[in-house]
Structure 1
């Protein structure tokens, strides 16, 4: 499952409503927001959350709200009136700090509750069990980290998730956006430090190895990256954008599937044999660097027409024509094209 973030520091403009609808149409199924309220905005937050809930319901999106301490009451809601939250479109609450395990257990019997995945301990689990929490309604959500160098270590994240999985928690993590990064630092909102500045879909695919829900921490994705997410969510297909080097690029563009017998050095299109390709004349040999898109020419005899994307730097070969190059931003996606993975090669302007 994929989700995205909408922050309540401003009202829900028509532009933001359109963004929510667009994300829904592209396959995203959840919204994350926060009720950490600045002192001067208390009166605004009830309306903003109600407006957001209304759009979420209209788009059939889950709405998880991050709360702490008295934030809920300051916004005009209450733990004792959960039905009001459900009515406005809130589908879950993420508990931050200053909320007891006894209160969490009580709420878990009424609606989905997300715990802080990074800080929950064995003692918390025992207290929740003793308080008769509904563990089917409990999830484990990690934080995002605006300040560089403070996000989580990947090895620690994996070990923590293994422990959380032993209690059957659904696990969530954040990846950065690539547009409209959140201020005041504008350095992305990842859960893992190594994902800061990374292509959002690459980071998401990395998290999916041991994470059930992946949310975009920042407030925006570029149009191109949103389309890449959409292809992956709806069709389980990775789109790679390619700069064309010559006219032979027309032979390689379109839909492909990596062969089941996964090669070490290259991605081999299983679809190449089904394409109607004429005799491929040799071109001047070029080094095949990571991301090079190639087609075997007539010098490769029965292999003529084989289409590859290069995974590691290889030398020039007079039997192989380099016809394009995956753009730098998309090159990290190549390592996620495993055996049987569908992918698309799409031409872009240089």
Structure 2
């Protein structure tokens, strides 16, 4: 599942909602207890939530014990008529409150801070695992995002009880203030290509939400295609290879990814037979006989070969995506220009 985020003080939130809905993404996260939020929050909250409703967007809101005073509302149940379908509980809620809220909202627990004793207390209080979501934090300050081993340990705890897991990636383009350093769950994703970060997370969690408001370009559409069609989108630069959809061969080669049905019968003269680096896109030339025209993507650095032309390269930001390519995988190579 793919989701996006919008925030009360973001003047472009309406455009963000429209863009996401047009990309086929209709699940959103918002926070209703960010200390930096100021102004007529209750009015703005009502406007945005109703706007999201008109586009069929399901909203999950982060709340704390201070949210009611912060927004000037009487009780959490007042959020339901505004279109809030689920709430994510910060620390401090007692079991009586949690049970009461579960009758109104889909409930998300803090997957980054909850320990197993606390989780068992929730479950023993009568909550059904399938009615809960384990939702990780995002971390605005660099160096504070989760470490991978801890992240996987937490996930194993929730998976053991059959609770789905959600997490965040940073946005593409504009980043949320006040630090503007991305909103990832995992620290290693902070400055990674958000698309690659999402593909990485989707192998471990049930839903990935863009934490920042920035979803410029085709991020949401590309992620929807990956999730629903298992098509990976990889950007490249090449003067020879057009953008298009390709498929990998079924076997796994040690050094290269081999693209199916790319050999040709016409001549492929030797040219640019230089050293090949990780992510280099190559085409076998006439010196390889019946292999002429076969296109490959290098999985590691390789020496020059007079029988292999270098015709392009994967853009540096997309190199992490190569780790997720599998036999028979479909991929879309998007040509971003000549090299």
Match of 1:264 in 2: 254
Which residue is equivalent to 1:20?
A: 17
- TM-score if structure 2 supplies the norm length? 0.92
Whole-angstrom distance in 1 between the partners of 2:120 and 2:315: 50
- What displacement does 1:151 show? 0.9
- Structure 2 vs 1, CA of residues 38 and 254 (structure 1 numbering), >3 Å: closer, same or farther? closer
Could you tell me how far 1:89 is from its partner in structure 2?
0.9
1:209 Cα offset (Å) = 1.8
Question: Aligned equivalents of 2:322 and 2:313: distance in 1?
Answer: 12
Distance 1:112 1:24, change over 3 A: same
User: What runs of 5+ residues in structure 1 fail to find an aligned partner?
Assistant: none
* Equivalent position of 2:60 in the other structure: 64
Q: Does 1:330 align with 2:322?
A: no
CA contact (8 A) 1:257 1:343 kept: yes
CA contact 1:111–1:137 (8 Å) conserved in 2: no
After the TM superposition, which residues 72-83 of structure 1 pair with which residues of structure 2 at under 5 Å, given as runs? 72-79=68-75, 82=77
Q: What is the correspondence of 1:146-161 to structure 2 with a 5 Å cutoff?
A: 146-161=140-155
Specify the SS of the correspondent of 1:242. Answer: strand
Q: So what's the TM-score if we normalise by structure 1?
A: 0.89
Give the superposition deviation at 1:229: 2.9
1:255 corresponds to: 245
Aligned partner of 1:194 in structure 2 is 188
Answer whether contact 2:140 2:179 (CA < 8 A) is retained.
yes
What are the equivalent positions in structure 2 for 1:298-313 lying under 5 Å apart? 298-313=286-301
Identify, as 1 or 2, the structure richer in helix: 1
Measured in 2, the distance between the counterparts of 1:221 and 1:56 equals 16
Unmatched segments (≥5 aa) in structure 2: none
Contact 1:101/1:124, CA 8 A, preserved across alignment:
no
Asked if 2 retains the 8 angstrom alpha-carbon contact of 1:144 and 1:190, the reply is yes
Q: For this pair of structures, how many residues does the alignment match? A: 338
Structure 1 consecutive aligned stretches of length 4 or more whose deviation exceeds 6 Å: none
Shift of 1:300: 0.8
Is 1:29 aligned to residue 19 of structure 2? Answer: no
Quote the Cα distance in structure 2 between the aligned partners of 1:2 and 1:225.
10
